[in-house]
């Protein structure tokens, strides 16, 4: 018999899977876990954001962060620029396209949550 926490964990993982599957189908969402983590950090935590701060907070090398940010930048989800006061410092900022993408992703998430909250009718025995 599964414990209540394992059933809850499995439900949470299935919900996570459904959200990402819908995102891939609807929004052509094709980001790695690292790119996704950086994207959400840029949009859900207050700026300023830098490659160095993400490298420290995620415990990932700066070159790996740069590769992820480069991909996000090519997609137009973030913009990177050099700090005029310190040319070595690479800053990351939000974009309109990224904001729209985040809102659309949140709608997928809310839609999945609403669908999960609707009880399924009991199956009839035949």
pLDDT at residue 107, as a whole number: 86
pLDDT at residue 119, as a whole number: 55
Distance, in Å, from the CA atom of 45 to the CA atom of 58, rounded to the nearest integer, reads 14
Report all structural domains of the chain as residue ranges with CATH numbers, in order of start: 9-114 (1.10.10.10)
In the chain, which residues have pLDDT < 70? 1-7, 27-28, 113-126
List CB contacts of 92: < 8 A, sequence separation 6 or more.
38, 42, 49, 50, 51, 54, 69, 78, 79, 80
pLDDT at residue 122, as a whole number: 55
pLDDT at residue 24, as a whole number: 80
Please provide residue 35's backbone torsions phi and psi, each rounded to the nearest 5 degrees.
-65, -40
């Amino acid at each position: 018999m599964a414990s209540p926490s394992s059933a809850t964990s499995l439900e949470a993982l299935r919900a996570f899977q459904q959200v990402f599957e819908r995102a891939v189908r609807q929004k052509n969402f094709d980001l790695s876990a690292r790119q996704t983590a950086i994207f959400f950090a840029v949009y859900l935590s207050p700026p300023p954001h830098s490659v160095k701060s993400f490298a420290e907070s995620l415990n990932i090398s700066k070159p790996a962060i740069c590769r992820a940010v480069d991909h996000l930048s090519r997609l137009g989800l973030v913009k990177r620029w050099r700090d005029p006061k310190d040319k070595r410092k690479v800053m990351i900022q939000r974009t309109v396209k990224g904001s729209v993408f985040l809102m659309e992703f949140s709608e997928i998430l809310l839609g999945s949550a609403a669908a999960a909250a609707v009880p399924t009718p009991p199956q009839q025995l035949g």
